[in-house]
Amino acid sequence: MTALWIAHVNVTDAQAYGEYAKLAGPAIAAHGGVFLARGSRYVQLEGNDRARNVVARFPSVEDAVACYRSAEYQAALEHAKNAAERDLVIVEEN
């Protein structure tokens, strides 16, 4: 079953986060991820407001987890660690 990678992000350092995004996109694509939404219009109904929201679809939960754990994505993540507050969840689609 396909899976959704859902990230809610509050960017605190736009330059460093831009470096993350440059590297993360190709890493996600290399693992079969396809972006459905990135930084689009949103409505916050509950919880903590995070101005950047990203949704990507992967072939499976396992593919999404493999992407997250990959050397390529971890290299990208080094740029985001001090540049954003992030929540990331992977959800299997029905």
pLDDT tens figures, 21-72 = 999 999 999 999 999 999 899 999 999 999 999 999 999 999 999 999 999 9
- Report the predicted TM-score, pTM, of the whole model to 2 decimal places: 0.93
Range of the domain at 50: 3-92
Q: What is the CATH number of the domain that holds 52?
A: 3.30.70.100
In this predicted structure, what is the pLDDT of residue 38?
A: 94
- Work out how many domains the chain is built from and give that number: 1
First to last CA, the chain: 7
The CA distance from 70 to 5, in Å, is: 15
Using N-to-C axis directions, what is the helix angle for 71-80 and 61-69, rounded to 10°?
Answer: 70
